[in-house]
Amino acid sequence: MSKSKRTGQFKYFLGKSWMSMNGWKFVGELPPQGKFVLICAPHTSNWDLIYLLAIMFMHRIKVSWVGKHTIFKKPFGGFMRWLGGIPVDRRAAHGVVDQIVDQYAEEDDLIIAMTPPGTRSKTDHWKSGFYHIAHKAQIPILLGFADYANKTAGTGPALIPSGDIKKDMDMIREFYRDKRGYHPEWESDIILREEMRS
C-alpha cells in the first residue's frame, strides 16, 4: 500500500503545539495508510474537529472534508481546496454518496473526515452517509475521537463495513462507550435510521 499524503512542517508544528499547550495527548493507534473515512465523535463542540486535526497534523497526515460546491467559487475556492475541501453538488442526480465514492475511486490516497451526528446538538440518531460511502467504496471506517474527560484524542481501530449494519454499529458503539464530549448531555445516540426502522 502506498504512503499516505503528508502535510508540511508548519502544520506539524501547529498540531504539536496545540496539543501541548492545551495539555492533551495522543492515544490509540496510528492511522493506517491509504484510503479511509475518518469519523469524528462524540461531536458536541466546534473544538472536536480541531483536536482531531491536530492529531493528524502531528502525524503529518493530510485530511480532507466535504463542502457544498458553492463555497468553492472564486475568490475563496483555491483556499478552501488548500484546506482540504472537496466540493459536492447536493442538487445533482448523482447523489452525494456516489459523488464521494467516485472521488475515492479517482485517488490513490484519500482521507475524508466526517461527523456522523451532523450537528453539535443532541439527536436520536447518526447520519448514515459515512457508512454507505465506506461500504460502496469498500474502504475502512477509522474511528476518531476527542475525549474531553481524559484530555485525549486519537484514532482507534478501522473496520470495513460488512453490510450487516447492526453488527458493524455494535462495534462502533462499543468503542465510543467511554468517550465523552465537551458537552456530554449533547451527545447523540449512536444508531442509524436504518437500525431504527428495522
Q: Is the dihedral of CA 151, 157, 161, 165 positive or negative?
A: negative
Please give the pLDDT value at position 70.
81
Please give the pLDDT value at position 6.
64
Residues of the chain scoring pLDDT < 50 = 1-4
Ranges of each domain in the chain: 9-26+34-110+117-153+172-197
Omega within 30 of 0 (cis) for the link into 42: yes
3-class state of residue 182 by DSSP: coil
Quote the strand ranges of 14-151, DSSP E: 25-28, 36-41, 65-68, 85-88, 111-114, 141-147
Please provide the size of the chain in residues: 198
Distance CA 172, CA 167 (A): 9
How would you classify the pairing of strands 141-147 and 152-159? antiparallel
- pLDDT tens-digit readout, 110-162: 999 888 987 888 999 999 999 999 999 999 999 999 999 999 998 899 999 99
Of 113, 110, 115, which Cα lies nearest the Cα of 176?
A: 115
Of 197, 31, 196, 42, which Cα lies nearest the Cα of 118?
A: 42
Backbone angles phi, psi at 140, to 5 degrees: -75, 150
Please give the pLDDT value at position 1.
34
Cα Rg for the chain, rounded, in angstroms?
Answer: 16
Please give the pLDDT value at position 2.
39
Name the residue type at position 151.
K
Distance CA 50, CA 148 (A): 13
Please give the pLDDT value at position 64.
85
